[in-house]
Amino acid sequence: MKISKDKWGQVFDALASDYQMLAPKEDKGEVNFKRVNCFSEVKQGYLNTKLPAKALFFPQHETLFTYQKEGQGITVKNALKVEKTIAFGVRPCDARAFLLLDKVFNNDQYRDPYYCDRRDTTLVIGLACSQVAPTCFCSQMGLSPVSTAGTDLLFIDLGEAYAVEAVTEKGKEFVAKLQGLEELNAEDQVKLETLKNLQTSSSVDISALTEKLDSMFDHPYWDSLHEKCLGCNACTFSCPTCHCFDITEEFRKTEGNRVRSWDSCMAPLFTKHGSGHNPREDKKARWRQRMMHKFNYFVHNNGDIACVGCGRCLKACPVNMDLRQVIDAVNKAELVVK
Amino acid sequence: MVMGEIQESVNLPENQEFQPKIVAFLCNWCSYAGADLAGVSRIQYPATIRTIRIPCSGRINPLYILKAMANGADGVLVSGCHPGDCHYISGNFVARRKFALIKSLLTHVGLEEDRVNFSWVSAAEGGRFAEVVKGVTDRVSALGPNNGVFKVAERRGTDE
Amino acid sequence: MSKVIEEIHAAARQLLEDGKVDVVIGFEKGTLPLKATPCFIRSPQEVEKLIWDETCDNNLANYVRQIKGKKAIVAKGCDTRALVVLMQENQVAREDLYILGVSCNGVINRKKIEAETGEILSAELAEGKISVQGMNGSKEFAFADVKDDTCQSCRYPNPVLEDAHFGDKVETGNQEVPFADVVAMEEKSLLERRAYFQEEMAKCIRCYACRNACPMCYCNECFVDCNSPKWLTGGVDPAENMMFQVGRSLHLAGRCVDCGACVRACPQGVDIRALSRKVTKDCLTMYRHEAGVTLEDPPALNQFSTEDPQGFLVKE
Amino acid sequence: MGQNPYLPITMKVVKNQIETEDRNIKTLVLEFLNKQDEENFKYMPGQFAEISAFGHGEAPFGIATSPTEPGILKFSIAKVGCVSKALHLIEEGATVGVRGPMGNYYPIEQFKGKNVVIIGGGFAFTTLRSLATYMLDEKHRGDYGDITVIYGARNPGLLLYKEELAEWEKNPNINLVTTIDKPVDGWNGRVGFVPAVTEEVVKTSVDTYAVVCGPPAMIKFTLPVLEKLNFPPERIITSLEMRMKCGLGICGRCNIGPKYVCKDGPVFSMAELKELPPEY
């Protein structure tokens, strides 16, 4: 099935009246997910948003609850506000990252309502990539520029129209109600085929990475890896699968908010105890933690590698630390037989 | 010097005209004594300043001024000894360079000129201190409440 | 430029073989086109990795504090100025440093190129011309147009302090109006300036790449991380971003060598130099001081004179 | 835990008394405001809770009371940072927020029919008090063999819960051994470091569990003593401290290897710890 772009534009504008429409929009030279009111505001022909789509469900800074001090009593009020939302233009890598984050924010014991309520009330419309950059390596991470994992329905840009593929129940319902759908003609089929086998070309190999890391905690490779790293948060803030956050307090006179904001394992204070002891004292331990968490610990806990190959971290890094190089180096490192 | 003290400001009577909240960092040896002298000699000046005593104008860290503005101060006055009278000899000389750079940068980023003020008031100039406070109060009142460059959104920020 | 690289290789190999230094801090080819990456050479065989060209845009003086022992450093003009300030502030000893001075006629600002061609696929660099193939098409740039703004107005392309020099010196173009960009900003109205800075600061995501890339920012506990008193919360409220950036600029008053590493490190493209260059211009006009130019002239706020200007005083 | 695990319940401060001579540790006694909160707050010894000092923040503290002491929760708080300082200054009648119970708890089931040696040092005695009180309760005492408590501190003033210790001295069901590091006049009890005292007091590891909590130095020297008495790693239990924020295994900071101390801990056996990287 397919829908022409201008028909979709009308549907989009109609939906905007009773849904919160979030889509990539260019603002001050950067393309990021913003609230849009009509389809014309949506940016066309972009590689990917600068900040990851996780911000839709896990914003950089949000108020968990507010409280009011009256004398010695305190009233606490939940600050979670959720709106029916449609997220349009989510790239397959970001969408796949949602599935990884779902496992974190809805683990075996607790459910994080701030992430999960937004996630449940949002229809994710993926937009397949029509071009790949040399920094992308999603094909090597078990997905592809056209994969549907994490989306409710996937649009594939055929030029004049979008091919539509429903993925989840929510997606099927939405497509069922969608007017203006047409059959794909032969020319579309050809275009669809070529787009479908679009692949990223990168030498990253993750087949044996997790086992290798099992026995690499004390490997000398970690001693030199971290040296040029500045220890800033640029890579973790642009990563779609990074989920660490800090909980702090904002308090003025008698009213306060408990707020949550993105945090980074690369920041020195991340694990610093009140007593001053810091289990991960230096950049070496922090870089090792970043690699072990994404490619080993997460696999042991959730069965998947916590990286979708979007390439944002290596583009954001001021000193060009390239995750693909680190993965290759780990693969090639000979194990020190103890 | 707990920042929170700025908040426990005297609740002024609610008349319609805007009463600015001005944070005054007064150097203990001169300006604080000057303010004291103004009080002792019954010289009236607007009760819009919240005084914070500092050992010397050299003790001022630019963050004090920025944090005061962030937490809702409408104006800031920093006052120390005249250059040469400093109890610590070079405290205000060092501060002078800092203040010049602070004032210039704050104006550069779009903060109104009269929001942040610096002055030298000696312990003997009670009257002049009152004049300075009147002048600052009038100019800040003319500018209106500070919801400009450094003011953190309502209920945000922290005064811990 | 390759003759210079060979000379650097030879010098570095010699230093390592003689054991005069334990490590050579330099640049090697990065994994992205037109992007070099810092490297630490500890054995003479690895010396071939060292490169030097317009893509080496980090300030290596930033690593000097964290690496103990004797070290050589490939340093351009602004790097050496940063080293001078670090020495004046007793952060590094002169005898621990062997400075391989190189003259620099500017580094490339990749954001300018990517704004036009999209992500860079490949690029060739040949005397003053860069031909770039990007995701959104290819283009030929004159180097002068994509040179980083810092380098357009650079006054110290040649190292101010060095143990050896490689390549010929670059004569400093005499700019008609120094700090022309700051003057242009000053002439704008207050509300225009406020709007500009508020818009710039709204882009900041507080990843602190600017602070961590800056050689002058080395406090053990930055005021941003301090929680008693808690100057800033963890949020990205534009006013708090402004307080962070202005606070940092004031902490660099008289110390910032205007190398532009902060702006190039910022993933969000925030115009941080608009703040720091205003403070640098004030230090020059008011105190005739430029950071890190000579070892003898201490940073601006470490000294004072009885005739310092007092234009900031309140009107009476 | 209700459906929003970040929302604390509010509790009233009943008592906030100084616990140690150097005034660095105070014990906070909190009272549930309603029966429903208490119902939802089913906990076991070894678990912890996140206490909110409104206006300052939140921090994790081990629960010192045992489930056999209904209606109240007790926490002993060392003045270390913003939140603990605020909790030290809080007066009786004020309100604090509590989120929990969090983490796992001491393997009470496995202790059944076994002897238990509780070894505590300094102010790491909160959850151990909870464990000892739980096992001493007449409903449970029969399940366990003999219970030995070895509790040491630098000087007598630093011992926590002095009244309880006095009661336990007289209680036949428990063999209490308190010690201080260096002799102090007016103290006629035992003198010596905890590892040395452990070597003297603990004779056998047969059918015995050891629960060890204290400063790193004490643990470093106590473990070899236990290993010499051939305690197997599965029967040496300890409770770890980590920087924590969410307490739910989500915010990602308290991990040792793949395990999150707030969700998979804080109680670990030495066998479990040996498999984890030495990063704590």
Give a yes or no: residue B43 inside a domain. yes
Query: Cβ of A258 under 8 Å from any chain C Cβ?
Result: no
Comparing CB atoms, the residue among A133, A232, A248 nearest residue C207 is A232
Q: Which bin fits A321, alpha (ψ -120 to 50), beta or left (φ > 0)?
A: beta
Query: Is beta strand A2-4 parallel, antiparallel or unpaired with respect to A181-182?
Result: antiparallel
Query: Which residue in A260, D55, A35, A264 sits closest to C235, CA to CA?
Result: A260
Residue D53 Cα, gap to closest chain B Cα (Å): 12
Residue C89 Cα, gap to closest chain B Cα (Å): 17
Burial class, D280, CB count within 10 angstroms (exposed 0-12 / middle 13-18 / buried 19+):
buried
Strand order in the sheet with B75-80: B49-54, B22-27, B75-80, B116-120
Which residues from B are below 8 Å from D56, CB to CB? 160
Q: A165-174: per-residue pLDDT in tens? A: 999 999 999 9
CA dihedral C231, C235, C240, C242 (to 10 degrees): 130
Chains sharing 3 or more CB pairs under 8 A with chain C = A, B, D
Residue B47 CA to residue B133 CA, distance in Å, equals 9
What was the pLDDT predicted at D123? 87
What's the pLDDT band for C228 if we cut at 50, 70, 90?
Answer: confident
DSSP state of C63: G
Q: C182-203: per-residue pLDDT in tens? A: 999 999 999 999 999 999 999 9
Residue C140 CA to residue C129 CA, distance in Å, equals 7
| Strand ranges inside chain B, DSSP E | 22-27, 49-54, 75-80, 116-120
As beta bridge partners, residue A32 has A25
Which residues from A are below 8 Å from C231, CB to CB? none
The 3-state DSSP class for residue B35 equals helix
pLDDT tens per residue across all 280 residues of chain D: 448 999 999 999 999 999 999 999 999 999 999 999 999 999 999 999 999 999 999 999 999 999 999 999 999 999 999 999 999 999 999 999 999 999 999 999 999 999 999 999 988 999 999 999 999 999 999 999 999 999 999 999 999 999 999 999 999 999 999 999 999 888 888 999 999 999 999 998 999 999 999 998 899 999 999 999 999 999 999 999 999 999 999 999 999 999 999 999 999 999 999 999 998 8
What is the amino acid identity at position C188? K
Residue A89 CA to residue A307 CA, distance in Å, equals 20
Question: Residue D62 CA to chain centroid, in angstroms?
Answer: 6
pLDDT above 70 covers what percent of chain C?
Answer: 98
Residues C3, C82, single domain; the answer is yes
User: Domain containing B51: what range?
Assistant: 22-143
Q: B22-40: per-residue pLDDT in tens? A: 999 999 999 999 999 999 9
Q: Which helix (H) or strand (E) holds D237?
A: strand D236-239
Q: Provide the ipTM.
A: 0.92
Please say if the pLDDT value at position A311 is more than 90.
yes
What was the pLDDT predicted at C174? 67
CB contact under 8 A, A29 and C136: no
Query: Is beta strand A245-252 parallel, antiparallel or unpaired with respect to A255-262?
Result: antiparallel
Residue D238 CA to residue D258 CA, distance in Å, equals 18
Give a yes or no: residue B15 inside a domain. no
Torsion over CA: B7, B10, B11, B16 (sign): negative
* Total domain count, chain C: 3
Residue D6 Cα, gap to closest chain B Cα (Å): 19
Residue A63 Cα, gap to closest chain B Cα (Å): 10
Give a yes or no: residue B108 inside a domain. yes
Residues C168, C22, single domain; the answer is yes
Give a yes or no: residue B103 inside a domain. yes
Query: Which residue in A124, D214, B136 sits closest to C315, CA to CA?
Result: B136
CB contact under 8 A, C312 and B118: yes
Mean pLDDT within A80-97: 95
Give a yes or no: residue B13 inside a domain. no
- For residue D167, CA distances in Å to C245, D28, D161, D172 come to 59, 21, 10, 10
CB A188 within 8 A of CB A158: yes
Residue C8 CA to residue C51 CA, distance in Å, equals 8
Please say if the pLDDT value at position B3 is more than 80.
no
Residues C27, C168, single domain; the answer is yes
Q: How far apart are the first and last CA of chain C?
A: 60
What was the pLDDT predicted at C175? 64
Which are the contacts of A88, defined by CB distance < 8 A and separation ≥ 6? A12, A21, A22, A23, A42, A125, A127
Residue C308 CA to residue B100 CA, distance in Å, equals 9
Query: Which residue in D251, D239, D42, D54 sits closest to D128, CA to CA?
Result: D239
What was the pLDDT predicted at A180? 87
User: Domain containing C2: what range?
Assistant: 1-107+156-175
Give a yes or no: residue B111 inside a domain. yes
Please say if the pLDDT value at position C43 is more than 60.
yes
Give a yes or no: residue C151 inside a domain. no
Residue ranges of the domains in chain D?
Answer: 9-102, 108-239
CB contact under 8 A, B156 and A249: no
Mean pLDDT within A208-235: 94
Query: Cβ of B159 under 8 Å from any chain A Cβ?
Result: yes
Residue D261 CA to residue D245 CA, distance in Å, equals 11
Residue of A nearest to D280 (CA): A279
Burial class, D2, CB count within 10 angstroms (exposed 0-12 / middle 13-18 / buried 19+):
exposed
Which residues from B are below 8 Å from A62, CB to CB? none
- For residue B137, CA distances in Å to A320, B141, C160, D169 come to 52, 6, 49, 70
- For residue D116, CA distances in Å to A116, C11, D231, D259 come to 43, 68, 12, 26
CB contact under 8 A, A244 and D251: yes
What was the pLDDT predicted at B4? 44
Comparing CB atoms, the residue among A65, A256, A301 nearest residue D258 is A301
Give a yes or no: residue B133 inside a domain. yes
* Total domain count, chain B: 1
Which residues from C are below 8 Å from A250, CB to CB? 233, 235
* Topology at the third CATH level for domain D9-102: Elongation Factor Tu (Ef-tu); domain 3 (2.40.30)
DSSP state of A67: E
Burial class, B151, CB count within 10 angstroms (exposed 0-12 / middle 13-18 / buried 19+):
buried
Residue of A nearest to D216 (CA): A277
Residues C90, C187, single domain; the answer is no
Question: Residue A128 CA to chain centroid, in angstroms?
Answer: 15
Which are the contacts of C227, defined by CB distance < 8 A and separation ≥ 6? B160, D81, D82
User: For chain C, where are the alpha helices, taking DSSP H only?
Assistant: 2-18, 77-88, 110-117, 143-146, 149-152, 180-187, 190-203, 209-213, 238-251, 261-265, 273-287
Mean pLDDT within B96-101: 95
What is the amino acid identity at position A298? F
- For residue A38, CA distances in Å to A5, A6, A42, A56, A155 come to 13, 12, 7, 18, 18
Query: Which residue in D163, D159, D211 sits closest to D190, CA to CA?
Result: D159
Q: Within 10 A of D28 (CB to CB), how many other CB atoms are there?
A: 24
What was the pLDDT predicted at D1? 41
As beta bridge partners, residue A165 has A154
Residue A61 Cα, gap to closest chain D Cα (Å): 14
Residues C142, C70, single domain; the answer is no
CA-based R_g, chain D, Å: 18
- For residue C104, CA distances in Å to A130, C52, C123, C167, C280 come to 40, 9, 20, 9, 21
Specify the CATH number of the domain D108-239. Answer: 3.40.50.80
Residue A34 CA to residue A54 CA, distance in Å, equals 13
What was the pLDDT predicted at C173? 67
Residues C302, C196, single domain; the answer is yes
Please say if the pLDDT value at position B6 is more than 50.
no
The CATH number that applies at residue B98 is 3.40.50
Query: Is beta strand D95-102 parallel, antiparallel or unpaired with respect to B116-120?
Result: unpaired
Residues C193, C80, single domain; the answer is no
Query: Which residue in A301, A296, A264, A261 sits closest to A109, CA to CA?
Result: A301
Please say if the pLDDT value at position A277 is more than 60.
yes
Q: A2-55: per-residue pLDDT in tens? A: 999 999 999 999 999 999 999 999 988 889 999 999 999 999 888 999 999 999
What was the pLDDT predicted at C170? 86
CB A124 within 8 A of CB A131: no
Q: Which helix (H) or strand (E) holds A222?
A: helix A221-225
Burial class, A18, CB count within 10 angstroms (exposed 0-12 / middle 13-18 / buried 19+):
exposed
Residues C169, C44, single domain; the answer is yes
Chains sharing 3 or more CB pairs under 8 A with chain A = B, C, D
Residue of B nearest to C239 (CA): B150
DSSP state of B75: E
The 3-state DSSP class for residue C157 equals coil
The 3-state DSSP class for residue C258 equals coil
Query: Cβ of B83 under 8 Å from any chain C Cβ?
Result: yes
Q: C75-89: per-residue pLDDT in tens? A: 999 999 999 999 999
What was the pLDDT predicted at B148? 78
CB contact under 8 A, C278 and B151: no
Which are the contacts of A104, defined by CB distance < 8 A and separation ≥ 6? A243, A302, D250, D252
Residue B30 Cα, gap to closest chain A Cα (Å): 32
Query: Which residue in C119, C111, C33 sits closest to A29, CA to CA?
Result: C111
Give a yes or no: residue B5 inside a domain. no
Chains sharing 3 or more CB pairs under 8 A with chain B = A, C, D
Torsion over CA: A328, A329, A334, A336 (sign): negative
Residues C89, C130, single domain; the answer is no
Residues C133, C226, single domain; the answer is no
Residue of D nearest to C226 (CA): D82
| Strand ranges inside A254-333, DSSP E | 255-262
CB contact under 8 A, C236 and A238: no
Which are the contacts of B64, defined by CB distance < 8 A and separation ≥ 6? B25
Average pLDDT score, chain C = 92
Residue A264 CA to residue D253 CA, distance in Å, equals 9
Q: C254-306: per-residue pLDDT in tens? A: 999 999 999 999 999 999 999 999 999 999 999 999 999 999 998 999 999 99
Is the bond preceding residue D195 a cis peptide, omega within 30 degrees?
A: no
CB contact under 8 A, B158 and C233: yes
| Tokens 């129940």, residue located | A169
Instruction: Write out the residues of chain C at the interface with chain D, using a CB-CB cutoff of 8 A.
Output: 227-228, 230
Residues C169, C181, single domain; the answer is no
| Ramachandran angles phi, psi of A276, nearest 5° | 100, -20
What was the pLDDT predicted at D268? 95
| Ramachandran angles phi, psi of A285, nearest 5° | -65, -35
Which residues from C are below 8 Å from B96, CB to CB? 304, 308, 310
Comparing CB atoms, the residue among B94, B118, B150 nearest residue C304 is B94
